[in-house]
Structure 1
Amino acid sequence: MRAVVRKHAVDDAGKGIQEVARQLGVTQRTLRFYEDKGLVEPQRIGSTRVYSKRDVGRMQLILRGKRLGFSIREIKEFLDLYDVDPDHVEQMARLAGRVRERIDDLEHQRAAIEETIQELRQIEQEASARVRQIGRAESRD
Structure 2
Amino acid sequence: MATYTITELAREFDITPRAIRFYEDQGLLSPTREGPSGRNRVYTARERTHLKLTLRGKRLGLSLSDIKSLVDMYRSPKDTEAQLHSFLEVLARHRAALEQQREDIEVMLAEISAHEEKSRGLLGLARLQEESEGS
Name the TM tier (shorter chain).
Answer: 0.7 to 0.9
- Report the counterpart of residue 71 of structure 2 in structure 1: 79
Please identify, of 105-114 and 85-94, the stretch whose mean Cα deviation from structure 2 is larger: 85-94
TM-score w.r.t. length of structure 1? 0.84
TM-score (norm 2): 0.88
Which residue of structure 2 aligns with residue 7 of structure 1?
Answer: none
Identical counterparts, % of pairs: 35
Amino acid aligned to 1:80? D
Deviation of the 1:13 alpha carbon: 5.4
1:103 CA displacement? 0.9
Aligned twin of 2:4: 15
Alignment gaps of 5+ in structure 2: none
Residue deviations 1:51-93, cap 9 Å, x none?
1110100000011112212221222122223323344332221
Whole-angstrom CA distance in 1 between matches of 2:18 and 2:53: 18
Please give the per-residue CA displacement for 1:10-65, whole angstroms capped at 9, x wherever unaligned.
xx751111111111111100000011111111111121111111010000001111
CA contact (8 A) 1:81 1:90 kept: no
The one of 44, 54, 62 aligned to 1:62: 54
Bigger relative CO (Cα 8 Å, ≥ 6 apart): 2
* Count of residue correspondences: 130
Letter in structure 1 aligned against 2:105: I
Show the counterpart of 1:95.
87
Equivalent in the alignment of 2:22: 33
Amino acid at match of 1:108: Q
The residue matched to 2:42 in structure 1 has which SS?
strand
Of 105, 109, 128 in structure 2, the residue corresponding to residue 136 of structure 1 is 128
Stretches of structure 1 that go unaligned for 5 or more consecutive residues are 1-11
User: Which SS does the other structure have where 1:130 is aligned?
Assistant: helix
